[in-house]
Amino acid sequence: MTGYRGSGRDVFEYALVRVVPRIERGEMINAGVLVYCRAQSFVGARIHLDEARLRCLDERVDVEGVRAALRGYEGVCEGGERAGQAAGDDPGRRFRWLTAPRSTMVQPGPIHTGLTADPEAEVDRLLGLLVR
């Protein structure tokens, strides 16, 4: 699906990456955003971990473990060696894998949609709007 009624914009999907330090409490902070645009074969992630906010939810949280998990999201989006087994997958398949429900400390939120002419810029815009 390219463009939307001649608008020069393409449909994209996005999901927040959330950190839930204590699953049993259900409290979370947004720590990143994933964006996928099929028409432009684009998948990207931007991460921003507010360590002080995270420690407010759990002062004993393994911050380095959380950072490593968040880097994994970025690596899968970038493809190549950092993507591990997903390296050969197309962007859509990588996005679907990243947004599959998990019950771990770092997990994706629900998928939302929008229109964009520039999915790379959309990742930065959403990070500023929903995470920072």
Distance from C-alpha of 40 to C-alpha of 52, rounded to nearest angstrom = 36
Residue type at 24 in one-letter notation? E
Instruction: Yes or no: say if 71 and 78 are a contact pair by the CB < 8 Å rule.
Output: no
Average pLDDT over residues 101-109: 90
Reported as a single tens digit per residue, the pLDDT across 26-74 is: 899 999 999 999 999 999 999 999 999 999 999 999 999 999 999 999 9
Say if residue 1's pLDDT is above 60: no
- Spell out the residues 6+ positions from residue 82 whose beta carbon is closer than 8 angstroms to its own: 74, 75, 76
Ordered by start, the domain boundaries in the chain are 10-130
Say if residue 2's pLDDT is above 60: no
Q: Tell me what pLDDT residue 6 has.
A: 53
Average pLDDT over residues 83-110: 87
pTM, two decimals, is 0.89
Reported as a single tens digit per residue, the pLDDT across 6-35 is: 568 999 999 999 999 998 998 999 999 999
Tokens standing for residue 93: 């398949």
